[in-house]
A and B are shown apart, each in its own frame.
Chain A
Amino acid sequence: MVERQVELELVRCAKDGDAASFEELVKLHQKRVYNLALRMSGNSEDALDLSQEVFLRIYKALPLFKEQSAFSTWVYSIASNVCIDFVRKQSKLKTVSLYPDAETDAAVLEIPDNRYQPELEYEKAELREAISAGLSALSAEHREILVLREICGLSYQEICDALDLESGTVKSRLSRARNQLCVFLRNMPVKKSSKKEKGR
């Protein structure tokens, strides 16, 4: 609550033209914005540009912020719009099928009990790498909401406000996103082969 009050004071000072206050606001939210942009764009260069664009828009639209919602929610709303626009413009983005081995999916599903134990299949680094790949493979909506929740740490209500969604929609969309990510991780072909090698 104290942090939110401090944030509000910074917003008001920034509205009055205090550049230092706005820079403080940038520092408060830059990590979340950057990570959202990073996961949405897939590379750090675009993530920096997108983050910069987000804060530039925030600065220009600052007089329009009516303080009726949390500043952070407003920031993520703008960040979401910027990132979604970017993703839409990247029509040539490489997409990864959630079912890369659809034809041999039955065989993959034959992998027995350890399918819900990724630590047995991957090292942590490998798992993080797989999750990153899985996030990139998700749809923009699923990726966005999952990043906001898992990486940015937004609550359901904050996600509702940022994305202008109903709470039930947020809950169901998060569930589907996680389910899709699990499917992707289970069906990673490289890991399957490495597992088979281990089995031998």
Chain B
Amino acid sequence: MKHCDEYSELISAFIDNEISDAEAESLKAHLATCHDCRAYLLYLEKIHTETATLAQDVPDGFSSRVMNSIVASEKAQKRFGLSRFKFTAIAAAIILLVFAAGRLDSFFPTVAEDLSNEKVDEGLTQGALPQEKDLVPSTLTPLYTAENYAAPITDNDSNQKADTASDVNKKQIPTTERTEVPKLENTPPPAPPVENASNAAIAAPEQMQDTTVSDSSADEDALPPAQNIEYDENTAAPSEGNASAGGGSTTVENSTASDSGALPEDSTAPDEQQEEVTESDSSSGDSAVEETTPSILPMPAVPQSETYACYISVKGQGALSLFSEYSSNIYEGNYLISIDKANLANTLSLLDNSGFSYYRYDGDSAATNFLLIIIP
């Protein structure tokens, strides 16, 4: 186009009647002298006129179509809202399931981890306690049977247990105090965590023969309870000659609180032990001795609330004979047995009536879940 560019906007606005008077006068003056711009103006006016005729009528029923679409959209929105609610509900359910699954996952791995820790501890124990194999015969078989769970605990038994627990926490016992048949009042005070004591007992059986727990308690190498849990035929060692020849001592050397007091109070130790404790039971009364036998490791894990983890350190001929009543496969050594809580008093009564002195330590007075019985 050869029209003047500087007047093209004015020409366009002039066609639309969107031009000021001053602009109109300026444009008219230019058009009077510019043929190209006049031709361009005429051309745009022609296009402007014809373009306006391009407007087409809307097809009939368009407004009804629009209204129908609005109604349909509202219905769809309602359906969408309902489906969205359903979707939300389903999503919430899925989230809950996933969350629950996550909780389960977080639980089961813990169990699996505990089991794996038991394996590790077992290996450590086996490695750390080579003497156990030497002390326990390899022919030792598991004695635990479910039938060993028996008589419910009596009131007297409960009282005795409570007294024992309270005394344990209150009193301190001399370092080495030989007493006759054990009295609960003389039971050692807040004592070393069972795992330490048992560890010491296991690690230093010779010292146990000296009937001082303090020596053993000084030995604070942590020994996971699981070590003893996994005792089985393989870990059990044949008894030594001196063990079988050792006379059955009828006295018990109570370990001192002073010695044991140096031991750290590990509140977690009982729990850990308790988790690893396996079930066993002793029947009530002396007559039950023949009927039931305390379980000797290995024992299956049971809920900790039902059993005590009872570490027994057996030394001397008499102790062996005592436990021979429970089982003919008891030999000198350290054992972890599980005693049913309901039959704890019966078991202790059985020990008391056996005539052997023994050392007993209740791990936790509030929720006693393990015992330490040392029969020197």
Footprint of B on A, CB under 8 Å?
A: 19, 22-23, 26-27, 30-31, 34-35, 38-39, 44, 48, 51-52, 55-56, 59-60, 115-119, 124, 127-128, 131-132, 135, 146, 149-153, 155-156, 171-172, 174-175, 178-179, 181-183, 185-186
| Minimum Cβ distance to chain A for residue B193 (Å) | 72
* Dominant SS among interface residues on chain B: helix
Asked if B1 contacts A179 (CB within 8 A), the reply is yes
CA–CA, A151 to B42, complex, Å? 19
Q: How many A-B residue pairs have CB under 8 A?
A: 116
Asked if B16 contacts A182 (CB within 8 A), the reply is no
Cβ-neighbour of B44 out of A55, A59, A115, A182 (below 8 A): A182
| Minimum Cβ distance to chain B for residue A142 (Å) | 12
Asked if B43 contacts A34 (CB within 8 A), the reply is no
Of the candidate stretches B63-71, B148-156, B239-247, the one touching chain A is B63-71
Please list 29 pairs of residues, one from A and one from B, whose beta carbons are closer than 8 Å in the complex, sorted by A's number: A22-B67, A22-B70, A23-B64, A23-B67, A30-B58, A30-B63, A31-B58, A35-B55, A35-B56, A48-B59, A55-B70, A56-B70, A117-B39, A118-B43, A124-B50, A127-B50, A128-B54, A131-B50, A135-B51, A146-B51, A151-B51, A151-B54, A155-B18, A171-B18, A175-B11, A178-B12, A182-B1, A182-B44, A186-B1
The answer to whether the Cβ of B53 comes within 8 Å of any Cβ in the partner chain is: yes
For A28, the closest partner residue in chain B by CB is B63
Asked if B70 contacts A59 (CB within 8 A), the reply is yes
Footprint of A on B, CB under 8 Å?
A: 1, 8-9, 11-13, 16, 18, 39-40, 42-44, 46-48, 50-59, 62-67, 69-70, 73
Q: Which residues of B contact A135 (CB under 8 A)?
A: 51, 54
The 8 closest A-B pairs by CB, nearest first: A116-B39, A175-B12, A150-B51, A175-B9, A116-B43, A26-B63, A34-B58, A55-B66
Cβ-neighbour of B56 out of A34, A155, A172, A178 (below 8 A): A34
For A119, the closest partner residue in chain B by CB is B46
Asked if B40 contacts A182 (CB within 8 A), the reply is yes
| Minimum Cβ distance to chain A for residue B130 (Å) | 81
Q: Which residues of B contact A124 (CB under 8 A)?
A: 50
Given contacts A171-B13, A171-B18, A175-B9, A23 and B66 within 8 Å (CB-CB): yes
Q: Which residues of B contact A127 (CB under 8 A)?
A: 46, 50
CA–CA, A181 to B52, complex, Å? 14
Q: Which residues of A contact B39 (CB under 8 A)?
A: 115-117
